[in-house]
Each structure stands twice: as C-alpha cells, then as structure tokens.
C-alpha cells in the first residue's frame, strides 16, 4: 500500500510539472526588480506591438558556445523576443539560427547583412579567436531591417522597437531643415540626415513671403545661418511655435576663422528673435581647459613641420544633463561656441542640457587668436557654462512648444569626406528625436547596463573584513562544537542519575 502511494505521488508531481511547463510555454512573465525597470517593456513598445497590421518575422543570427558575458546577451535577446511575441498576439514570430553550424547558414547570415565579430575564447588554458554572430533581421512583407550587431549591454528594446516601427509606419513624421540664408544644406548634414531618415521623412524647407511651414511638419531645424534672415521668416516661426511645433536651433553667435586667426560677432537676426523668447546667446567665445588640438606649422632652421597645440576655443563638452536629448553622450566637440542664458519669464521653463568643464572662461569678440599663447588657470575663472538648453512653454501662442538651442552652429556640419565626431551627430539626432517623438521610443535609446561600481573601502576596513572573513567561520564552528559538547554532557549526566529510565 505504501509503495502504491509513492508511485501515485510521483505520478502526480510529474503530471503537475508537465502542465506547468506547457502553461509557461504559452504564458511568459518576468519579475523586474531593476532600478530603471530594464526588463519591463515600455508603453511605446507595447503600443507598437498591439497596433501591428502585418505579421513580423524576426530571424536572430546568434552563435552558440560563447563566453558567459556574451552568451548572456543571447539569453536576454531571446527573453525579449518571447515577451514581444506574447504582446503581439500572434503577429510576431521569431527563430534563432546558429551561423557557426555550417557554411550554408553562415552564408545566409552574411547575405542578410550580419557580419561576424572576432572574440577571444579560452580553451584548454589557451586563448584563441572565434567568429561570433550577434545580429537579427526583422521582416515585414517584402521589407526588412537589419540589426547587424547586438551590442552586449546595449539598448536591446530600442533597437528592436525602432526597427519594427520603421517597417510598420507608412507615413513617417516630417522633419524640416531650413534652407537659404547661409544655413547648412542636407549635404552638409549628411550624417545627421542619414540617421534621422530611419524614423522620419527629412525634407529641405525654403520659406518665402507667400509660403508657410507645412501643417504636417512636426519639427524644424535651423543650423548655422550666416546671412541676415528677413522678418517674414520669424513671423512664420512664431506661427509654427504657436500651433505647437518644435524647433531645433544651432546658432553661431560669433564667427572664428583659423585661416586669418580672427574672430568676430555674427548677426543674422536669429539672435534677436531668440532674445524675444527669453533666450540670450552671448556674443563671446567660450574657452575651456578641456579642449581639442589644432595643427600648427612651425619653422625650425631649414625644416618646416606640423605640431598639435591645445586650442581652448574648441572645447570638448563632456558634462550633460539627465535628459533624453543628451543622455548617453560622452564628448561633443564644439568649435567657437557661445554660452546661453535665460532672460524670459515664468511662461516657459529653461533647462540647461550641456555644460563646459569646471575650468572655463569667455573671450570677447572681436579678437585675434594667438595659437602660441601660454594659457594659465587665471584664464579660466568660470565653470559649467551652458552651451545647449531646452525651453518649453508658451513660445508663440496658446499651445505649448519646445525648442532646443545650441550655441554653436558648426558642430554637426561635415566638411567634404571628413567624418563628424559620433556624439556631435547624436546630439542633433537625439534632440530632434526628443522634440518629434510622441511614442516615447527616445527614452529607450540609452537604456542598457548602468555602471554600478563597488564602493571604495579604506585600508582599515579592508583589513577588518579580511580577518572577519577568515576567523568568523572558525569561531562559528568552535561555538557549535562547544554547544554540542555541553548538550552531550548534560545527556550523560541525566543517564547517570538513579531514576533515569
């Protein structure tokens, strides 16, 4: 009878485990205890998945048998795809392919735009290099988007959701780039334009006294005007802000020329219009200890050679506010930038976004640049000057509008085939994304692994913890031994008593 009960109990436990596994295969849930809810899908992603009109197929090309730190990325990606599939209610399917399995699958991955990366793997106490694939192809009908490399610790949700959104959106939101008046053209902003075209319809915009900013244009960018801007343009900008439009402005308040070592004040009318909104871009040059170098030609005897000299008029901005437009940026190089301050009233809020270092200063214009000048700490009496800012509120009418202003018009502009600093491009793209995005995807762009360094301990605390770690187990064992000894002694004494039975 007892054996029969054991068999029955074992059978019931096995049946319960099978049922639980079948249910868990259909229902997926994760308890997210992270500080920034890294493993909880955002409302933006949930909305995208629930509004899919066509099925989405995701083919993930991931190698197996990877080092633990990289293999964790595969697991995180798969967990996210399971949750995406559940949220999409049958409109999203996925599969995993191991390109290292055979030559045919490797060829398939590379034809789809997934390129291998070389990683170091330890095998039998030896280091060797191994091909690793970590990418995905998202397909919808005959359209597809490629994630060529899934960065370990990177923003997985943003990469997936933005790719799905790009495929599912029929009419992309319009972004305008103002043309004329010496403004940067689309070719000048080729890297910025390329990144923006992922989610937006980027269009050049030329204004005349008889044309208005299109009603379906969400954000307008004004980058580096050099010539005077007529008043009718500002009237149209006021109407645009009045209906809730958004504006990105990168303005040169001063103009510096290294060729003749001369810098002057630049007036286009844009600075006066900004001042009417309470935004003052000062007509001075920012200088900073943390700066980029310039190449200087020097003569020594019969020889002429080039040398790199630090040039404080080209500050490297590495201090940013915790805002989606600037979050995740590390270093933006600005050339002849001017500081920004707010002089408006309480109808709008002013939020500084980017700052100079703790050792910075300003130089009035006009001025001549002395590349050979020996700078001292006395030349940098200021700190944390604002060089980019966000203004929100009633800027031109009854509706709330948003404007981001940067005190340098040249930082996103390319020169020929020269590549622009990555963070320079990201500052513009993130800013326009923040101004234009009504889904919340911009919040996911920098969601990834956050650095959590261990708290530094003093030498005395380290020593205490070291000996505590060594001695505590020994002390606990001795105490337990004494407890057992005393208990056994009492038992023996009880047994020696006359009435013990």
Q: What's the CATH code of the domain at 68? A: 3.40.30.10
pLDDT of residue 38: 55
Q: What's the chain's average pLDDT?
A: 85
Angstrom distances, CA of residue 284 to CA of 256, 264, 265, 313, 365? 11, 9, 8, 11, 6
Spatial distance between the Cα atoms of 432 and 186, rounded to a whole number of angstroms: 15
Local structure of 452: helix, strand or coil: coil
- Assess whether pLDDT exceeds 60 at residue 217: yes
Q: What is the mean pLDDT of residues 227-232?
A: 96
Model confidence at 261: pLDDT above 50: yes
Determine, yes or no, domain membership for 453. no
Q: What is the DSSP letter of 336?
A: S
Let me know whether 217 and 283 are in one domain.
Answer: yes
> 120, 150, 168 — which closes off a domain?
168
> Are 406 and 311 within one domain?
yes
Is residue 372's pLDDT more than 60?
yes
Supply the pLDDT for residue 2.
55
Using the predicted structure, report yes or no on whether residue 239 has a pLDDT greater than 90: yes
Residue 451 banded pLDDT, cuts 50, 70, 90: very low
Q: How far is the C-alpha of 389 from the C-alpha of 325, rounded, in Å?
A: 10
- What is the secondary structure of 223-264 as a DSSP string? E---SPPPHHHHHHHHHHHHTT-EEEEE--SEEEETTTTEEE
User: What's the pLDDT score for residue 443?
Assistant: 62
Which carries the bigger pLDDT value, residue 266 or residue 465?
Answer: 266
| 52 and 195 both lie in a single domain | no
Residues 136, 158, single domain; the answer is yes
Span 251-277, average pLDDT = 94
Q: To the nearest 5 percent, what fractions of the chain are helix, strand and coil?
A: 30, 30, 40
CA dist., res. 172 & res. 432, Å (int): 14
135 domain residue, yes or no: yes
In a domain, 477, yes or no: no
For 147-159, the pLDDT digits (tens) are 999 888 777 888 8
Whether the predicted pLDDT of 5 surpasses 70: no
Residue 194 clears pLDDT 90, i.e. is over it: no
Q: Quick check: 133 and 70 in contact, CB under 8 A?
A: no
Q: Is residue 138 part of a domain?
A: yes
Pair 88, 225 in one domain: no
Q: What is the count of structural domains for the chain?
A: 2
Comparing 213 with 152, the larger pLDDT belongs to 213
Residue 60, classed as helix, strand or coil, is: strand
The answer, yes or no, to whether residue 178 has pLDDT greater than 80, is yes
Stronger pLDDT, 221 or 4, i.e. the higher one: 221
Co-location of 379 and 246 in the same domain: yes
Least confident of 26-35, 247-256, 423-432, 458-467: 26-35
pLDDT reading at 298 higher than 70: no
CA distance 107 to 99: 8
131: enclosing H helix or E strand: strand 126-132
- Helix, strand or coil for residue 219? strand
Q: Read off the pLDDT of each residue in 316-330 and give the average, rounded to a whole number.
A: 90
Which of 168, 198, 216 represents a domain boundary (last residue)? 168
**pLDDT mean over 287-307:** 79
C-alpha separations of 288 from 93, 250, 331, 336 in Å:
52, 20, 14, 11
Q: Are residues 61 and 86 in the same domain?
A: yes
Phi, then psi, of 166 in degrees rounded to 5:
-60, -40
My answer on whether 280 and 222 are in the same domain is yes
Beta carbons within 8 Å of 141's beta carbon, 6+ residues apart: 54
Retrieve residue 24's tokens: 């868990």
Does 495 reside within a domain?
A: no
In a domain, 418, yes or no: yes
> Residue 433 forms beta bridges with which residues?
none
CA distances from residue 447 to 39, 183, 225, 321 in whole angstroms, order as listed: 10, 34, 34, 16
* HSE-up of residue 323 (Cα within 13 Å, Cβ side): 22
Do 143 and 219 share a structural domain?
A: no
Let me know: does 133 contact 100? Beta carbons within 8 Å: yes
How many angstroms separate the Cα of 6 from the Cα of each of 13, 15, 17, 394?
Answer: 11, 14, 17, 76
Does 370 lie in the same domain as 303?
yes
State whether 343 and 430 are in the same domain. Answer: yes
Pick the range with the lowest mean pLDDT from 124-133, 163-172, 295-304, 363-372: 295-304
Range from 64-73, 258-267, 303-312, 429-438 that averages highest in pLDDT? 258-267
Which range has the worst mean pLDDT, 251-260, 430-439, 473-482? 430-439
Q: What is the CATH number of the domain that holds 198?
A: 3.40.50.880
Say which range, 159-173, 344-358, 432-446, has the weakest mean pLDDT. Answer: 432-446
Tens-digit pLDDT profile for residues 8-19: 777 777 777 776
Tell me what pLDDT residue 406 has: 98
What is the domain extent for residue 125? 39-168
HSE (CB half, 13 Å, CA atoms) of 121?
Answer: 15
What residues have CB less than 8 Å from 240, skipping those under 6 apart?
213, 217, 220, 247, 396
Asked if the structure places residue 456 within a domain, the reply is no
Single pTM value for the model: 0.70
Residue 264 located in a structural domain: yes
Share of the chain above pLDDT 70, in %: 86
Give dist(CA 166, CA 162) in Å, integer.
6
DSSP string, 273-289: HHHHTTEEE-SEEEEES
Among 444, 463, 481, the domain boundary falls at 444
Together in a domain, 195 and 295:
yes
């Amino acid at each position: 009878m007892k054996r029969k009960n054991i068999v029955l109990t074992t059978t019931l436990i096995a049946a319960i485990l099978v049922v639980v596994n079948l249910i868990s295969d259909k229902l997926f849930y994760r308890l997210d205890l992270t500080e920034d809810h890294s493993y909880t899908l955002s409302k933006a992603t949930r909305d995208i998945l629930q509004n899919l009109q066509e099925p989405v197929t995701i083919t993930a090309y991931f190698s197996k048998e990877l080092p633990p730190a990289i293999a964790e990325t595969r697991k995180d990606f798969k967990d996210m795809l399971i949750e995406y599939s559940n949220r999409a209610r049958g409109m999203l399917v996925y599969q995993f392919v191991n390109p290292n399995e055979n030559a045919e699958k490797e060829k398939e991955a590379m034809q789809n735009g997934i390129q291998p990366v070389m990683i170091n793997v330890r095998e039998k106490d030896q280091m060797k290099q191994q091909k690793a694939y970590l990418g995905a192809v998202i397909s919808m009908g005959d359209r597809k988007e490629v994630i060529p490399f899934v960065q370990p610790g990177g923003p997985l949700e943003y990469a997936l959701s933005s790719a799905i959104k790009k495929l599912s959106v029929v009419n992309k939101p319009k972004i305008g780039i103002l043309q004329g008046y010496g403004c940067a053209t689309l070719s000048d902003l080729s890297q910025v334009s390329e990144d923006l075209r992922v989610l937006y319809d980027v269009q050049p915009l030329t204004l005349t006294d008889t044309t208005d900013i299109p009603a379906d244009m969400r954000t307008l960018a004004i980058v580096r005007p050099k010539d005077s801007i007529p008043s009718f343009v500002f009237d149209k900008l006021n109407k645009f802000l009045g209906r809730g439009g958004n504006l990105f402005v990168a303005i040169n308040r001063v103009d510096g020329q290294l060729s003749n070592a001369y810098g002057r004040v630049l007036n286009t009318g844009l600075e006066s219009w900004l001042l009417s909104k309470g935004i003052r871009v000062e007509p001075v040059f920012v200088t900073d200890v943390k700066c980029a170098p310039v190449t200087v030609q020097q003569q020594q005897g019969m020889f002429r050679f080039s040398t790199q000299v630090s040039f404080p008029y080209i500050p490297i901005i590495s201090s940013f506010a915790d805002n989606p437009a600037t979050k995740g940026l590390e270093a933006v190089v600005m050339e002849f930038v001017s500081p920004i301050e707010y002089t408006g009233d309480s109808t709008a809020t002013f939020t500084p976004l980017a700052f100079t270092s703790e050792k910075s200063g300003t130089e009035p214009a006009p001025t001549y640049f002395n590349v050979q000048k020996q700078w001292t700490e006395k030349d940098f009496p200021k700190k944390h000057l604002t060089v980019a800012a966000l203004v929100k509120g009633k800027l031109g009418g009854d509706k709330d509008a948003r404007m981001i202003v940067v005190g340098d018009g040249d930082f996103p502009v390319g020169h020929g085939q020269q590549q622009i600093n990555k963070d320079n491009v990201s500052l513009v793209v993130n800013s326009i994304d923040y101004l234009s995005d009504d889904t919340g995807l911009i919040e996911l762009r920098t969601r990834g692994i956050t650095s959590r360094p261990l708290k530094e301990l003093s030498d005395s605390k380290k020593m205490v913890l070291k000996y505590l770690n060594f001695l505590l187990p020994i002390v606990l064992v001795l105490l337990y031994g004494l407890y057992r000894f005393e208990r056994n002694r009492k038992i023996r004494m009880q047994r020696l008593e006359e009435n013990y039975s």
